Structure 1
């Protein structure tokens, strides 16, 4: 038998943005364990905004496993939080979301790398040159001396963990970066995003760098951070059609408030109609329009097919991917085929 390090991770009860928590268990296995071999585990919910001190026991239920390249026989264990009676904790969004493995998601997670309270590359007490050269930039003046090392290592860790990264790049603002993850179904896509966030946060501890998920950490003429949700359904991929697409966009407009409600807090600071966004109180779609609520790729409308994937640009960088993916699926399911 070999001793395995199991890093259980879960989402706490803080609002409006939940934090990742983790603690480590060691167990002996003959080989890499399966999900059903891992035990449930308890934690003190009174320390995570998930219970009162007089009745503080909460339960961690393993729901997904990820190999951990940084540890010998290491495994990251994504967990749901349960109450002692076996029901889902009120903070456990994963347990009740709409899920459909035929709905595919590609999340574009943007974030800022911060040190001493400012984005990497910002001079102390001032600002760098205006944004323009930083997007997909190369060279020290554009990306600094450690950001690319961090983002490249993060990519390697995610790939080792089995997370389907599709790309990384420096973003429009100084110190801002993005990674893209593709998966099928709400739970798988959101699990992968949360574990990728965990890996980035833990990696940045070694560099004494913080990850800023807030959607508008710098006021002024700087892009905010989104988590654009690219999505497609079996019908969109295989059938499509303009009539169905227009009905789908009508539904997205009808449920605009419900989408905004789960697309991340402080989105009014980001969705201003500036910096490649539509205003938060409006809905629009447009072909290749980065200022639209839903961007339609040229390939989607090619030959008048209206088939493929769409990009909802409204979700923000600190949004909960469980709730975002679930809301998109609910709106899609409201449209008759």
Structure 2
């Protein structure tokens, strides 16, 4: 028997954006535990805006686990929050979402690294050089001294944890970075994004750096942060077709308000029609158009096939991937394939 460190991770009740929380339990196992081996665990919901002080018990229900690459015999445990009677807590955005393992998601998570209240590379009381050379940039003047180290280390941690991390790049603004995660189904993809966020936050503690998830942390002529949602279904991958695609785009336009409602708060500050975005009150699609609501890759329309994946560019960096993926699936399911 060996002692295992179980770090339970969950989303609190703060709105409009929940925070990640964690606490540690030590347990003995003969081997790396399975999900079924992990116990439910209580916590004080009155300290996380999930209960009143007079009845504060909430329950953590393990739903996914990952090896912790920073610990010996460490386990990262993604949890749903439940009420004592076993029903999902109102803040539990995972329990009741639409899910389909045949719908695949690739999330592009953008974020800013902040130190002393300003993005890395921003001088005290001023601004760095305008946007232009930072995107996928190289060299100290473009990416600074620790930004790439943080992003690279985070990638390695995610891979060692079994998260399907697919890449990183410096983004358009100074101090802004992006990582990409791919998963099959709403719950799998979103679990991995939330755990990747957790690993990034925990890593940045070592550098005395904060992660800023807000979609427009620097006002003015600077790009905001998105979480572009790439998606495909078995039908889109295998069959597709222009007629079906146009019906699907009609459905996305008809459900535009429902999508914007769950695509992250303050999106009006980011979706202005500038900085490679469509205006929040409009819907458009376009081939290779970074200013469209949904960008269609050239590969999708090649040979007039209209087959492959699509990119919804409206979700922002603060968005809840559970709700984003669920909303995409609901709209797709509203369009018949035959």
TM-score, length basis structure 1 = 1.00
Distance 1:2 1:137 in 2: 45
Distance 2:30 2:126 in 1: 56
CA displacement 1:98-134 (0-9 Å, x = unmatched) = 0000000000000000000000010111100000000
Instruction: Name the residue aligned to 1:140.
Output: 140
How many Å apart are 1:327 and its aligned residue?
Answer: 0.0
How many Å apart are 1:90 and its aligned residue?
Answer: 0.3
Structure 2 gaps of 5+ residues are none
Please, what is the CA RMSD of the aligned residues? 0.3
The number of equivalent residue pairs is 337
How many Å apart are 1:37 and its aligned residue?
Answer: 0.5
How many Å apart are 1:23 and its aligned residue?
Answer: 0.1
Instruction: Name the residue aligned to 2:33.
Output: 33
Q: Map 1:1-337 to 2 at 5 A.
A: 1-337=1-337
How many Å apart are 1:279 and its aligned residue?
Answer: 0.1
Distance 1:215 1:96 in 2: 26
Tell me the secondary structure at the aligned position of residue 197 of structure 2: helix
CA displacement 1:123-166 (0-9 Å, x = unmatched) = 11110000000000000000000011111100000000111111
CA displacement 1:229-283 (0-9 Å, x = unmatched) = 0000000000000000000000000000000000000000000000000000000
CA displacement 1:6-41 (0-9 Å, x = unmatched) = 000000000000000000000000000000000000
Structure 1 gaps of 5+ residues are none
Distance 2:165 2:79 in 1: 21
Tell me the secondary structure at the aligned position of residue 277 of structure 1: coil
Distance 1:122 1:5 in 2: 39
Tell me the secondary structure at the aligned position of residue 95 of structure 2: helix
Tell me the secondary structure at the aligned position of residue 132 of structure 1: coil
Off by >2 Å, runs of 4+ in structure 1: none
How many Å apart are 1:93 and its aligned residue?
Answer: 0.8
TM-score, length basis structure 2 = 1.00
Tell me the secondary structure at the aligned position of residue 202 of structure 1: helix
Tell me the secondary structure at the aligned position of residue 268 of structure 1: helix
Distance 2:151 2:44 in 1: 33
How many Å apart are 1:95 and its aligned residue?
Answer: 0.2
Distance 1:164 1:41 in 2: 27
Tell me the secondary structure at the aligned position of residue 162 of structure 1: coil
